[in-house]
Amino acid sequence: MDNQEIIDQLTKVCICKGVSRQTIKKAISEGADTVEKVWSKTNTGNGSCKGKRCGEKIQQILDQWNKGQ
């Protein structure tokens, strides 16, 4: 496991559900290519903030991912 993976594991993207960036990236790697798909695949976006906090962060991760492809 490299440093980036460790950081991804420790960084919570969806605070309401306690879901890490690693889990979000895994969902993207498995084909979730929109924020809504990531939300449904990882059971996020449905916490008390209704995705207000994590939606933007997930979009940023998607943008970075698409740049790297």
Q: Which is nearer to ligand FES, 37 or 68 (CB)?
A: 37
Residue position matching structure tokens 């207000």: 52
Residue 45 contacts ligand FES per CB under 6 A: yes
Tell me if residue 9 falls in helix, strand or coil: helix
Token couple for 28: 């993207």
44 near ligand FES, rule: CB under 6 A: yes
Per CB under 6 A, 62 contacts ligand FES:
no
Name which position in 16, 20, 26, 65 contacts ligand FES (CB under 6 A): 16
- Interaction of residue 53 with ligand FES, rule CB under 6 A: yes
